Amino acid sequence: MSVQSEMPAIKPVKKKLDLQRPLDELVELYAEIPARQFRYCPGCGLGMAQSAIMRAFHRAGVDITKVATAGGSGCYSVMGHYFKSNHIHGSHGRGCAYAMGMKLARPELTVVTLQGDGDLLAIGGNHFIHAARRNIDITVICFNNYNFGDTGGQFAPTTPLGSKTDTSTLGMPEPAFDACKLAIGAGASFVARSTVAHPAHLTKMIADAIEWKGFAFVEVMQHCHVLWGRRNGMPEAMDMMRFYKDNSVLNTSSVPEDERFDIPIYSEDEKNVKFVLGVLNKEQKPEYTEEYAKLRAKAMAKVTGKAKS
């Protein structure tokens, strides 16, 4: 496996990648508010993540009115309001619980949660692992910016060991979660990671996750140069983009798509590698709403049988 710092060259699987499509057109199709009015910090990675999600919607060919998103509190929480999809903006951490209800009640909906790293892995950790365990057909997108940005930059479960935040001014004393390993451990059938510095790759990962039948998780490394970067020697957005590019390897580079999933998340022999991008787990399993539908059919047949006899 080699460290690859260029934009990954991925052959489109089904449809042509829509990277060339003007952003304004995508905004018109999938978002509600003119692009100039999106309210993220200047240079924030969330804008790039949002356009990747819009491109992924387009690539996956979803009907935006049949998309239901869920989220709670965090910098990302405005994103759900921007899409033309249906959205629950509830309390901090409950995204996966809302998504469970939406998908189970209306399996025909495309259900996506938009959650931050603190939201998903700290306060919402329980809902996350259990939704993964059930293999319900939802897509969980985690914007990992290494800290609680909305409250001003406190450490989160993902903050790298030793790095400085508002509540770890002397260095983060706790080891960080690897969100993808957690998801795999909990039973997620599709797990992928990408960064906002690899927009084409990120788009493909999100589109694949949306198209996946079962629980799909995408960790989006999304920089927060304003709060985390500034305190850790990367004060500009471009510093952090470079950081992602220099420290990423793709586990998609040398093996065909079907065989690339045995590669470990972290590469032992390449010490400087921080993130392995790509699909990290893909496993066909029974999907929860389909299994429940079978159970329901059985229960209903039993009742009608009783009524007839």
For another protein, the closer CB: 82 or 244: 82
For another protein, the closer CB: 130 or 242: 130
For another protein, the closer CB: 170 or 307: 307
Quote the least distance from Cβ 192 to another protein, whole Å: 24
Q: How far is CA 228 from CA 175, 204, 287, in A?
A: 16, 27, 38
For another protein, the closer CB: 238 or 300: 300
Quote the least distance from Cβ 169 to another protein, whole Å: 29
Which residue, chain included where needed, has tokens 């406190």?
154
For another protein, the closer CB: 13 or 303: 303
Bridge partners, 142 (sequence order): 115, 219
Neighbours of 220 (CB within 10 A): 27
From the number of C-beta atoms within 10 Å of its C-beta (0-12, 13-18, 19+), residue 230 rates as: middle
Quote the least distance from Cβ 224 to another protein, whole Å: 17
Quote the least distance from Cβ 221 to another protein, whole Å: 24
For another protein, the closer CB: 19 or 33: 33
Quote the least distance from Cβ 305 to another protein, whole Å: 11
Quote the least distance from Cβ 100 to another protein, whole Å: 5
Quote the least distance from Cβ 227 to another protein, whole Å: 17
For another protein, the closer CB: 121 or 202: 121
CA-wise closest residue to 98 among 78, 85, 113, 109: 113
* Torsion 138-143-147-151 (CA) sign: negative
For another protein, the closer CB: 130 or 245: 130
Quote the least distance from Cβ 303 to another protein, whole Å: 5
CA-wise closest residue to 222 among 106, 50, 82: 50
Write out the residues near another protein by the rule CB under 8 A.
32-33, 37, 39, 65-66, 68, 70, 77-78, 80-82, 84-91, 94, 96-106, 108-109, 126-127, 130, 292, 295-296, 298-300, 302-303
